[in-house]
Amino acid sequence: LAKTTQPISMDSYEGQEVNITCSHNNIATNDYITWYQQFPSQGPRFIIQGYKTKVTNEVASLFIPADRKSSTLSLPRVSLSDTAVYYCRLTGGGNKLTFGTGTQLKVEL
Amino acid sequence: GAVVSQHPSRVICKSGTSVKIECRSLDFQATTMFWYRQFPKQSLMLMATSNEGSKATYEQGVEKDKFLINHASLTLSTLTVTSAHPEDSSFYICSAGQGMNTEAFFGQGTRLTVV
């Protein structure tokens, strides 16, 4: 069972870049790496997905090294509204679709 | 992007009664839907996987007779919490995908409170 490991919490200030790293040492060949954002009392929201190297969309970037044993979600210039829990997951392969502990990001003024 | 709608968003019921939660994929056909439960300040826990037209697959420790799942069409799955008890109070979330490991879109969640 592939497992993901993330920091439990991170603190930042408005305007800063935030990088959240997720470890997934047992990632399978056909696994994709997917990141979600969850606000209190809401379902998770898809942020970004990647397989290797770098993926960028309008809200975030995802960096994946060649060995794919980790990934880093990069949020440029965060604001207060980015305070949420961020989950990384391995999807698309044969792994059971479970969530890890997630990272509680707190953004302050 | 794809939209998954969950209803109701919150429900309060009396102990011993049953509650049904609906999960609909609004703009795509979801061959597979997933049901999660989330307790305060904890991560989502997968309860079961439902495939259209077949029986749901339940995770270890989840009582299939208590949490009835029906996935009768490609756009609707329902979770019925039968004979609810206060310990069933939780946040229930569904997600939908077009294959066994492809879910990426989640419903808004349902806050169930059993009194």
For B17, the 3-state DSSP assignment is coil
What is the distance in angstroms between the Cα of B82 and the nearest Cα belonging to chain A?
23
Instruction: Report pLDDT for B100.
Output: 53
Strands (E), A1-109: 9-13, 18-23, 32-38, 45-50, 53-56, 61-64, 70-75, 84-91, 103-108
What is the distance in angstroms between the Cα of A62 and the nearest Cα belonging to chain B?
16
CA distance A50 to B88: 36
Q: Does B34 touch chain A (CB under 8 A)?
A: yes
DSSP code at position A4: -
Does A40 sit behind a cis peptide bond, omega within 30 degrees of 0 on the bond before it?
no
pLDDT tens-digit map of B26-83: 888 888 889 999 999 899 999 998 888 888 999 999 999 999 999 888 899 999 999 9
Instruction: Report pLDDT for B32.
Output: 85
Which of A56-65, A93-102, B13-22, B106-115 bottoms out in mean pLDDT, i.e. has the lowest?
A93-102
pLDDT tens-digit map of A55-108: 999 999 999 999 999 999 999 999 999 999 999 998 866 556 678 889 999 999
| Residue A100 near residue A20 (C-beta atoms within 8 A) | no
| Residue B107 near residue B93 (C-beta atoms within 8 A) | yes
CA distance A79 to A86: 15
Instruction: Report pLDDT for A86.
Output: 98
Which of A23-32, B4-13, B99-108 bottoms out in mean pLDDT, i.e. has the lowest?
B99-108
Instruction: Report pLDDT for A3.
Output: 84
Taking contacts as CB-CB distances below 8 angstroms, the residues of chain A near B36 are: 99
pLDDT tens-digit map of A3-34: 899 999 999 999 999 999 999 998 988 889 99
| Residue B84 near residue B96 (C-beta atoms within 8 A) | no
| Residue B47 near residue B66 (C-beta atoms within 8 A) | no
Q: Does B108 touch chain A (CB under 8 A)?
A: yes
CA nearest A52: which of A35, A76, A75, A69? A69
Instruction: Report pLDDT for A8.
Output: 95
Instruction: Report pLDDT for B1.
Output: 61
Instruction: Report pLDDT for B27.
Output: 83
